[in-house]
Amino acid sequence: MTLTVITDGLFSLLEKNNYNPTTIKFYKREWSKISRFILSEYGDEEFDMERGMAYLEKTYNLVTKYNDGTLSQQRVQLLRVVHMLEDYRLHQVLTQRFYASKNPLKLNDYFSGIHDRYVEFLNSPEISQSTQKHYKRISLVFMDYLTQKGVSDIKDLDMELCNGYIKTLAGFSFKTIEQDICGLRHFLRFLNESGILENNFADKIHVPLVSKTSHIPSAWKPEELKKLLAAVDRNSPIGKRDYAMMVIACVMGLRISDIKTLRFSNFDWNNKTLSIVQHKTKKPLKLPLPDQVGWAVIDYIKNGRPDYNGSDYVFLKHRPPFNSFSDSDHLQQRIIYHMQKAGIRRDKNRHSGFHSLRQSAASMMLEMETPLPVITTVLGHSDMDITAVYLKNDIQKLAECVLPPEDFAHE
């Protein structure tokens, strides 16, 4: 498909989706640059992803900067330009990979009605707020895709359309594709069970199995972890808060969703235990409270936490009205801030959120020869296979944690 055909189609879709004229002007300017590059380098107007990436590398050194971790956020937008062109070439739709609050997806009245029913269906205490938010987004994107494909009645949905949508996920990480397919299946199952759609397409779409070689958050080396924690200003109120949250993650292995929602009642100081119902799995978890963690939390409560009794959450924002952290705030920016202070370099192969600290806790427990079933319990995993993925960086020690065959005979 020629670049002219692609850009003409995209221009129409951008206007139809009420994109800002300044944004459209930016895209058209980049399209002209790409057109000149392709004509000069290849002698024709045909476009594909390989040619688009060649343009980005020659013009902006984008691929090189991405690989060495120096790509700026401003340059990421240029990658979006090429992705849009490739997505339209393959699927003839505007796949909106990024969503600004000022330019949200808007469905017509028919699909909006279905979405409203789905949102009501999702409103269940058994589904976490973050999962609800994710499923709502997937249903919006899917119905926007159907609209662009000319579908006006959900009863016209078939497997070809479902598979076409799944193909638009090409280029995303394995984990993102897996999550999006789970969301799509949930929405399709709702359509069938509520009588909106006669066919149950959800059962025909298979979720990819968790790959044992899939990328996981990188574990911190002990010396790096010490350097990171040492860089935290424990004389400041915010520093006391960050330090306490970080040691909970890297010593006890709690998820950030559980750390930021800790309440005073979760702590049993007399028995030195911490008891929670996990945000993700809804399962209870009771753990011993190490002294290092306990004293860090006490220091924050007594000497750092805002003098505010309107909330029983332990960890608060330090600006009025001193709210607890939102469900969508994973506090990655706090880890990045302390990494910069510690002089620890970030790159594309290194995760820099609280989840990476959680995986470090798994690795440290393995180093201390903690049995795998115990690590699974501490991390709150549903089974040992998931824990094994976390610990794939030390296969030899993992093998030592597995019970020998003769031990199973006694169970």
CB within 8 Å of 16: residues ≥ 6 apart? none
- The residue-averaged pLDDT of 173-198 equals 87
- Band the pLDDT of 359: cuts 50, 70, 90: low
Identify the residue with better confidence: 390 or 2.
Answer: 2
Identify the residue with better confidence: 318 or 345.
Answer: 318
What is the rounded distance in angstroms from the CA atom of residue 65 to the CA atom of residue 73? 11
Helix axes 237-247, 332-342, angle to 10 degrees: 100
Of 17-31, 132-146, 352-366, which gets the smallest average pLDDT?
352-366
Identify the residue with better confidence: 390 or 137.
Answer: 137
Strand locations in 297-392 (E) = none
What is the rounded distance in angstroms from the CA atom of residue 300 to the CA atom of residue 406? 49
Structure confidence at residue 379 (pLDDT): 56
Structural tokens at position 334: 């706090």
Q: Which of 48-52, 311-315, 322-326 has the highest mean pLDDT?
A: 311-315
- The residue-averaged pLDDT of 49-60 equals 87
What is the rounded distance in angstroms from the CA atom of residue 26 to the CA atom of residue 23? 5
- Band the pLDDT of 235: cuts 50, 70, 90: very high
Structure confidence at residue 112 (pLDDT): 94
CB within 8 Å of 7: residues ≥ 6 apart? 28, 31, 35, 85
- Band the pLDDT of 351: cuts 50, 70, 90: low
Identify the residue with better confidence: 279 or 202.
Answer: 202
Of 21-25, 228-232, 296-300, 374-378, which gets the smallest average pLDDT?
374-378
With left for phi above 0 and alpha for psi between -120 and 50, is residue 159 left, alpha or beta? Answer: alpha
Amino acid at 87: D
What's the mean per-residue pLDDT of the chain?
Answer: 79
Structure confidence at residue 401 (pLDDT): 39
- Whether the link from the prior residue into 321 is cis, omega within 30° of 0, is yes
Alpha-helical runs (H) found in 92-196 = 109-122, 129-148, 159-167, 174-193
Whether the per-residue pLDDT at 210 is higher than 70: the answer is: no
Structural tokens at position 66: 């991405």
What is the rounded distance in angstroms from the CA atom of residue 191 to the CA atom of residue 151? 16
Amino acid at 212: K
Whether the per-residue pLDDT at 263 is higher than 80: the answer is: yes
Of 244-248, 361-365, 377-381, which gets the smallest average pLDDT?
377-381
Structure confidence at residue 60 (pLDDT): 84
Structure confidence at residue 400 (pLDDT): 42
Identify the residue with better confidence: 149 or 102.
Answer: 149
Structure confidence at residue 234 (pLDDT): 93
What is the rounded distance in angstroms from the CA atom of residue 245 to the CA atom of residue 351? 17
Identify the residue with better confidence: 175 or 147.
Answer: 147
Q: Which of 91-105, 126-140, 148-162 has the highest mean pLDDT?
A: 148-162
Q: How many CB atoms lie within 10 A of CB 341?
A: 14
Structure confidence at residue 391 (pLDDT): 41
% of the chain exceeding 90 in pLDDT: 33
Amino acid at 211: S
What is the rounded distance in angstroms from the CA atom of residue 391 to the CA atom of residue 85? 39
Prediction pTM value: 0.53
- The residue-averaged pLDDT of 63-85 equals 73
Contact by Cβ (8 Å): 88, 10:
yes
Structure confidence at residue 395 (pLDDT): 37
Identify the residue with better confidence: 281 or 193.
Answer: 193
What is the rounded distance in angstroms from the CA atom of residue 276 to the CA atom of residue 262? 8
